[in-house]
């Protein structure tokens, strides 16, 4: 089971405390769809995604980005039981949404870049290491119910 | 062969112009060793790397970070010839230094994150997509002489 030190817990909480979910969520998801264009296939019902400008101004993408950040918040509030917290979401992404779990890592990368761009030099190597450990645990939990 | 449009070349050069090699090089390498601790094994002769502060202040590591990033400049200058430009370095990393090529991707990620911290909102999704395409070509070239 994943073990978190006091310092790691503090770093994760401090990162998420500094985030405006309504701002970062849409940015991270749009970045993902632009940098890794095949991910757009999961959002066919969301309307116009034909170019970067359309993606960035698509209200359905923005709303979904916010939803994802609130989903991550659940992990932040339950750091000792991330696997259980995401069991249902994992089943949903596997059986209903049919999302290739590799894409969770890509979204994680884009969120990391958004946070790095926001915090600048405040996103130190130690902060990055802890955040990426957190994302690895989240990604692992989301992939857990896939068979 | 990887093809770059005029616009992509301009973007890569514009990013590179803003990069202070002597600053970004050490920082990116430090991030690698802290975020992915197994990479410390390649730097055994550099001395104390046993804690975050030791890694962050190790002079030999910092120097090596500069060497690595300066060599990235060669790819920026010769974007149509990246594979040839790195053939010798690829052989060196395979036959003499015995570096697992997966680690090139990790270093590329940390270079990207460091640059995102410096450039912040100007490192937008279009710029990121192009920069990552460029680094993917570099990583591929570094892997190309492995058997």
B70-120 pLDDT tens trace: 999 999 999 999 999 999 999 999 888 888 889 999 999 999 999 999 999
- Taking CA A118 as the corner, what is the angle to CA A115 and CA A119, rounded to the nearest 5 degrees? 85
Mean pLDDT of A54-68: 97
Of B35, B121, B126, the CB nearest to A117: B121
Mean pLDDT of B123-131: 96
pTM of the shown model: 0.85
Q: So what's the pLDDT on residue A57?
A: 96
Closest CA to A69 of A123, A143, A17: A17
* Residue B26 predicted with pLDDT over 90: yes
What spatial distance separates the first Cα and last Cα of chain A, rounded to whole Å? 20
Mean pLDDT of A50-71: 96
B33-57 pLDDT tens trace: 999 988 998 898 999 998 999 999 9
Residue B98 forms contact with A (CB below 8 Å): no
Q: So what's the pLDDT on residue A8?
A: 97
Query: Which residues, numbered 67 to 86 in chain B, qualify as contacts with chain A under a Cβ-Cβ cut-off of 8 Å?
Result: none
Task: Tell me the shortest Cα–Cα distance from A95 to chain B, in angstroms.
Answer: 30
* Residue A2 predicted with pLDDT over 90: no
Enumerate the residues of chain A whose CB falls inside 8 A of the CB of residue B112. Answer: 113
Distance CA A145, CA A66 (A): 24
Distance CA B36, CA B33 (A): 5
Of B30, B52, B113, the CB nearest to A113: B113
Of B120, B129, B132, the CB nearest to A120: B120
Q: So what's the pLDDT on residue B1?
A: 73
Q: Which of A65, A114, A116, A123 to mutate to test the interface with B (most CBs of B within 10 A)?
A: A116
Interchain contact, A125 vs B56, CB within 8 Å: yes
Distance CA A113, CA B116 (A): 6
Q: What is the ipTM of this complex?
A: 0.74
Q: So what's the pLDDT on residue A145?
A: 87
Interchain contact, B125 vs A30, CB within 8 Å: yes
A76 neighbors A12 (Cβ within 8 angstroms): yes
Give the pLDDT band (50/70/90) at residue B132.
Answer: very high
Mean pLDDT of A82-107: 92
Interchain contact, A116 vs B113, CB within 8 Å: yes
């Amino acid at each position: 089971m994943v073990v978190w030190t006091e310092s790691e817990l503090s770093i994760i909480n401090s990162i998420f405390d500094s985030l405006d979910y309504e701002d970062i969520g849409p940015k991270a998801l749009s970045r993902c769809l632009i940098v890794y264009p095949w991910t757009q296939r999961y959002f066919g019902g969301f309307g116009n995604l034909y170019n970067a400008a359309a993606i960035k101004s698509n209200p359905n993408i923005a709303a979904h980005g916010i939803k994802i950040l609130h989903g991550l918040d659940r992990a932040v509030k339950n750091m000792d039981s991330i696997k259980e917290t995401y069991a249902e979401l994992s089943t949903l992404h596997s059986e209903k949404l049919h999302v290739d779990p590799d894409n969770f890592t890509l979204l994680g990368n884009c969120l990391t870049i958004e946070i790095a761009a926001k915090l600048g030099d405040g996103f130190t190597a130690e902060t990055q290491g802890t955040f990426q450990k957190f994302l690895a645990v989240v990604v692992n939990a989301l992939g857990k119910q896939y068979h | 062969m990887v093809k770059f449009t005029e616009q992509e070349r301009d973007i890569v050069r514009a990013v590179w112009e803003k990069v202070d090699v002597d600053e970004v090089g050490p920082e990116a390498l430090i991030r690698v060793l802290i975020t992915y601790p197994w990479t410390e094994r390649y730097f055994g002769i550099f001395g104390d790397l046993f804690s975050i502060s030791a890694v962050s202040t190790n002079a030999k590591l910092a120097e090596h970070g500069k060497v690595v990033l300066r060599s990235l400049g060669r790819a920026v200058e010769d974007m149509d010839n990246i594979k040839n430009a790195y053939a010798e370095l690829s052989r060196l990393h395979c036959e003499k230094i015995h570096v697992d090529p997966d680690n090139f991707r990790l270093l590329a990620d940390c270079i990207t994150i460091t640059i995102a911290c410096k450039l912040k909102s100007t490192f937008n999704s279009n710029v990121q997509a192009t920069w990552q395409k460029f680094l993917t070509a570099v990583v591929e070239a570094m892997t190309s002489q492995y058997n």
